[in-house]
Amino acid sequence: MSDGLSHNMTALEAEGARALPAAKDVAQRFEVQPHPAPASEEAWAKAMDELSFGAAYSDHMARAIWTRGQRWHSKQVVPFGPLTLSPAAAVLHYGQEIFEGMKAYRHDDGSIWTFRPGYNAARFNASARRMCMPQMEVEDFVGAIAALVTEDAKWVPTPFGSSLYLRPVMFASEAFLGVHAAAEYTFLTIATPVGLYFKDGLSPVSIWVSDGFHRAGPGGTGAAKTGGNYAGALLPQEEAADAGFDQV
């Protein structure tokens, strides 16, 4: 092992595999601001009964800000709600945006677990590097998740195949027009209770193979989890749906 890595482990895998502190310890990195008007019991019960993907959201979201010279600061769990964003925010014009997707599961004993969050943190930082965005300490990334799930534990569903889907996202929030990396970024993690992704449940899905569109190419951003890659896939995905297929 001349490079310090196992021959069958990539640098990204090695970064994701390192041991993490206890969730309760990293959660303390985020100050909690309880929601003054959380969802009503009726709204909560409806969301937990329907479990539609991305249709209802938990009461809170985790937030942090990066500014040049200050690095990451203002780490908080705050009430879920609309954002105030300038029409000149760099993300709207130059597409500096990345995200992750992961889940929190409730076990039979009532405890709540995520699956390998260190790997999501490592991939999030790999996407940030490619999109010329600031990286985040793994402990902050996992701390945001732990703090949010702890505060919104009631939103983790119990039926088989269900989970609390977590969406960490970072975008360039500085207001400017000019082609260069932004000086301010906003990090958020939001959560939505979900059931199985495909309507037919745990069964095979039909795939439409398209050779007329390309999502990635050598030297491109295909390995980065950035919104633009997904936008480019929407047209062939619609073609697949029109042809009666589940996915492209």
Q: What is the pLDDT along the chain (248 residues), one digit of tens a residue?
A: 344 455 578 888 999 998 999 999 999 999 999 999 999 999 999 999 999 999 999 999 999 999 999 999 999 999 999 999 999 999 999 999 999 999 999 999 999 999 999 999 999 999 999 999 999 999 999 999 999 999 999 999 999 899 999 999 999 999 999 999 999 999 999 999 999 876 666 678 899 999 889 888 899 999 999 999 999 999 999 999 999 999 99
Which CATH topology does 11-197 take? D-amino Acid Aminotransferase; Chain A, domain 1 (3.30.470)
Residue 201 confidence (pLDDT)? 67
121: left (phi over 0), alpha (psi -120 to 50) or beta: alpha
Report the DSSP pairing between strands 184-194 and 102-106. unpaired
Q: Any catalytic annotation for residue 24?
A: no
Residue 79 · residue 60 · CB < 8 Å: yes
Global pTM?
0.92
Catalytic residue among 24, 103, 154, 225: 225
Question: In this structure, is the dihedral angle defined by the CA atoms of residues 26, 154, 189 and 234, taken in order, positive or negative?
Answer: positive
Domain boundaries, given as residue ranges, for the chain:
11-197, 200-248
Residue 215 confidence (pLDDT)? 83
Residue 83 · residue 63 · CB < 8 Å: no
